[in-house]
């Protein structure tokens, strides 16, 4: 599986990192953090390939992630590369970047050491989260580069799916890629797995079609919520409760289900409001940062509601959430009552 990646429209940190890699201008220290594992791994590998020679890569790529200490980091940075100009030290999930995490004395030692890193080392901290207020965070900003890797916007994921598919000798339209993104989770690794399944499934055929995606790809929680909303709009109580039971069976928390329903109805209201002002659908999609295919689906949902109904639906959702949080009603009973109200709109 070839992995293509085009990061147009990404955050400033990723743009700077891309330029540094292109110009072979690798800094002595980096902090990579955020939920998008695919991108973090992608850029760690890009730096590794650039600064380490293939023949001695295993000798000069050090990873530490258990029982991490300041002395362990400093000692590994101080040791010289083996038959190479550079070495890379990857420190994974140190906990140094959490507001209340880690040993303060240890973190202070590492923070001070960052000001005098040897020129032969590239030190990369690989974390799930980071507190921007911390001294160690600011030290890395000063001496190197901090890059956040959030989950990517659907429109960017659609372009990425098209590029990955093309790199693997297949074709997929923007519309079909939009279906895949909507059906999948927002995690790029999981989407890549779905692309791989499609490539195998289509065999010698060059083009990946809508029906291939529907047949082969797993349905994410996000997509199931869309199906649930569709069923509510169709006023199909049997189908709606079945989708709700599916989500509960998958152990999706009721508050998350309510949040996603609220999010969907807010999007419906925003699309309807913009279209009523004469804004073209493609501009609405760009404004809401969703693929045109999804905007089209939401437009069809919006046509089934008046503004008054949508505003009332959002109020009902808020009241349901409040009732659960204040203990007035059990969560499952509350969401079932909410669905009944929404269907009666």
Q: How would you write the pLDDT of the chain (345 residues) with one tens digit per residue?
A: 555 554 444 447 899 999 999 999 999 999 999 999 999 999 999 999 999 999 999 999 999 998 899 999 999 999 999 999 999 999 999 989 987 766 889 999 999 999 999 999 999 999 999 999 999 999 999 999 999 999 988 888 999 999 999 999 999 999 899 889 888 888 999 999 999 999 999 999 999 999 999 999 877 777 777 788 888 888 888 888 888 888 888 788 888 888 888 988 999 999 999 999 999 998 998 888 787 778 888 898 899 889 999 999 999 999 998 988 888 888 888 888 898 888 877
Query: How many other C-beta atoms lie within 10 A of the C-beta of residue 59?
Result: 14
Domain at 69, CATH number: 3.40.50.300
- Report how far apart, in Å, the C-alpha atoms of 222 and of each of 184, 190, 265, 292 are: 8, 13, 14, 17
Structure pTM? Answer: 0.72
Pair 282, 301 in one domain: yes
- Report how far apart, in Å, the C-alpha atoms of 109 and of each of 94, 124, 298 are: 14, 16, 53
Domain at 170, CATH number: 1.10.8.60
Cα 78 to Cα 88: distance, rounded to the nearest angstrom: 12
Pair 242, 173 in one domain: no
Nearest alpha-carbon partner for 39 in 2, 83, 5: 5
Pair 158, 125 in one domain: no
Overall number of domains in the chain: 3
Contacts of 5 (CB under 8 A, 6+ apart): 39, 42, 160, 163, 164
Is 4 inside a domain boundary? no
Nearest alpha-carbon partner for 218 in 231, 201, 241, 236: 201
Is 312 inside a domain boundary? yes
Is 3 inside a domain boundary? no
The pLDDT of residue 1: 53
Pairing relation of β-strands 87-92 and 61-64? parallel
Pair 23, 132 in one domain: yes
Indicate the residue among 117, 148, 179 that finishes a domain.
Answer: 148
Burial code of 324-343, b = ≥16 C-beta within 10 A, e = fewer?
Answer: beeeeeebeebbbebbebbe
Indicate the residue among 216, 238, 266 that finishes a domain.
Answer: 216
Pair 139, 203 in one domain: no
Triad 284, 13, 61: Cα angle to 5°: 135
The pLDDT of residue 10: 43
The pLDDT of residue 192: 95
- Report how far apart, in Å, the C-alpha atoms of 110 and of each of 70, 77, 295 are: 6, 11, 48
Is 2 inside a domain boundary? no
Range of the domain at 170: 154-216
Residue 163 and residue 5 in contact, taking contact as beta carbons nearer than 8 Å: yes
DSSP string, 143-180: HSEEEE-PPPPHHHHHHHHHHHHHHTT-EE-HHHHHHH
Indicate the residue among 166, 192, 216 that finishes a domain.
Answer: 216
Pair 202, 236 in one domain: no
Pair 98, 141 in one domain: yes
């Amino acid at each position: 599986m070839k992995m293509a990646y085009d990061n147009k429209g990404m955050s400033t940190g990723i743009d700077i990192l891309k330029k540094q890699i292109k110009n072979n201008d690798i800094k002595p220290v980096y902090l990579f953090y955020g939920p998008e594992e695919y991108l973090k791994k992608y850029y760690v590998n890009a730096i590794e390939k650039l600064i380490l020679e293939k023949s001695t890569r295993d000798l000069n790529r050090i990873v530490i992630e258990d029982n991490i200490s300041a002395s362990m980091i400093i000692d590994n940075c101080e040791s010289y590369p083996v038959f190479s100009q550079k070495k890379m030290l990857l420190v994974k999930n140190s906990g140094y970047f959490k507001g209340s995490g880690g040993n303060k004395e240890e973190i202070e030692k590492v923070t001070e050491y960052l000001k005098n890193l040897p020129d032969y080392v590239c030190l990369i901290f690989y974390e799930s989260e980071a507190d921007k207020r911390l001294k160690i965070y600011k030290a890395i900003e000063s001496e190197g580069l901090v890059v956040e890797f959030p989950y990517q916007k659907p429109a960017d994921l659609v372009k990425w799916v098209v590029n990955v598919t093309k790199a693997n000798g297949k074709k997929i339209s923007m519309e079909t890629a939009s279906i895949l993104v909507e059906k999948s989770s927002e995690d790029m690794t999981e989407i890549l797995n779905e692309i791989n399944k499609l490539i195998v499934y289509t065999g010698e055929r060059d083009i990946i079609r809508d029906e291939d995606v529907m047949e082969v790809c797993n349905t994410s929680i996000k997509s199931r919520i869309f199906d649930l909303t569709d069923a509510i709009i169709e006023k199909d109580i049997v189908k709606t409760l079945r989708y709700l039971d599916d989500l509960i069976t998958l152990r999706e928390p009721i508050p998350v289900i309510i949040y996603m329903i609220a999010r969907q109805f807010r999007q419906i209201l925003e699309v309807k409001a913009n279209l009523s002002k004469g804004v073209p659908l493609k501009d609405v999609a760009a404004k809401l940062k969703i693929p045109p295919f999804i905007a089209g689906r939401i437009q069809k949902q919006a046509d089934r509601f008046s503004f008054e109904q949508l505003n009332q639906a959002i109020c009902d959702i808020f009241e349901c959430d409040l009732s659960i949080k204040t203990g007035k009603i059990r969560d499952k009973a509350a969401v079932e009552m909410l669905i009944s109200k929404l269907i009666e709109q």
